[in-house]
Structure 1
Amino acid sequence: MWTTENRARYDRSELRYPSDLTDDEWALIEPLIPPAKRGGGKRSVDMRAVVNGLMYVLSTGCQWRAIPKDLAARSTVHDYFDLWDYDGTLERIHHTLYVACRERMDREASPTVAIIDSQSVKGAEKGGARSTRPATMRARRSGARSATSWSTRRAC
């Protein structure tokens, strides 16, 4: 519900882009970002700018090439996205934020009840993915087409 208190909490007018992380949001995510690999040079990219670039793409739906120049380079943002997807960082961030939201609402960290509707059960009983097979099958040839090929006489 939009109360005066909630409007102030969700006001993003002070940020450069509405998708940018606030200081409180960054404080939740920063510890989950893996440190730079050992043995190489010092990490020169600002990780908050990388996360802000990812959030910009997610919130606007823009192409990677359309990331604004004042955020991290698009190749850097995309490379970190691929890396974090591969090593599970995105999953850890999602899980941590999910648990924090549930606890803030005075709920248990993981749900104890699941609801399955009758259509889901019916689909599973019929074989689930198998029911989509006819839509992906190759079209059959018409019987009329093969009949016309027999109408001409063949030389023996």
Structure 2
Amino acid sequence: MSPRNYDNDLSNEEWQRIAPLLPSQKPVGKLREVSLREVLNAIFYRAANGTKWRNLPSDFPAWQTVYGYYRLWVRLGLWEQINQALVQQVRVHEGRQAQPSLAIIDSQSVKLGQKGGKSRA
């Protein structure tokens, strides 16, 4: 890919955190022709700029390739793992523990019992 810098490109530290989570080359079949780091940079570019897949800049891999990896990673649960890894890294960088020690549940999202239930007469 051509040398370029977007604000949302992965730093080396972020890439080192994510790279072990990504699938390795398949033992058989066609070799991967794109850089997974560039695929991730394209996904983050799209998220940061709100563009359509088809409108990704041409210095990223083809939009169909980027979209295909994104859909696969979402389906495999890998995207959630990537998100958790990056959130943990940000927390540690800010001097906090990697895992939160407190969670808040919105009472509006908790199902309540049936209103006006049957009376036991």
TM bracket (short chain): 0.7 to 0.9
TM-score (norm 1): 0.61
Point out where structure 2 has 5 or more consecutive residues left out of the alignment. Answer: 114-121
Q: Assess, with a 3 A threshold, how the Cα gap between structure 1 residues 101 and 15 changes in structure 2: closer, same or farther.
A: same
**Residue identity matched to 1:86:** R
Q: Residue 44 of structure 1 corresponds to which residue in structure 2?
A: 33
Q: Residue 140 of structure 1 corresponds to which residue in structure 2?
A: none
Identity of aligned residues (%): 36
Q: Deviations over 1:54-107 (max 9, x none)?
A: 011101000011001110000000000001101121111111222223333343
**Residue identity matched to 1:107:** R
Q: Which has the larger radius of gyration?
A: 1
In 1, the alpha carbon distance for the partners of 2:75 and 2:20 equals 18
Q: Assess, with a 3 A threshold, how the Cα gap between structure 1 residues 17 and 111 changes in structure 2: closer, same or farther.
A: closer
Q: How many residues are treated as equivalent by the alignment?
A: 111
In 2, the alpha carbon distance for the partners of 1:46 and 1:122 equals 44
Where do 1:76-155 residues align within 5 Å? 76-116=65-105, 120-121=106-107, 124=110
In 1, the alpha carbon distance for the partners of 2:102 and 2:51 equals 37
- SS in structure 1 at match of 2:110: helix
For residue 74 of structure 1, the aligned residue among 58, 63, 73 is: 63
Q: Residue 57 of structure 1 corresponds to which residue in structure 2?
A: 46
Higher helix fraction: Structure 1 or Structure 2?
1
* Alpha-carbon distance, 1:122 to partner: 5.3
* Alpha-carbon distance, 1:126 to partner: 5.0
Point out where structure 1 has 5 or more consecutive residues left out of the alignment. Answer: 1-13, 128-156
Greater length-normalized contact order (CA 8 Å, ≥ 6 residues apart): 2
In 1, the alpha carbon distance for the partners of 2:22 and 2:37 equals 10
- 1:34 has 2:23 as partner: yes
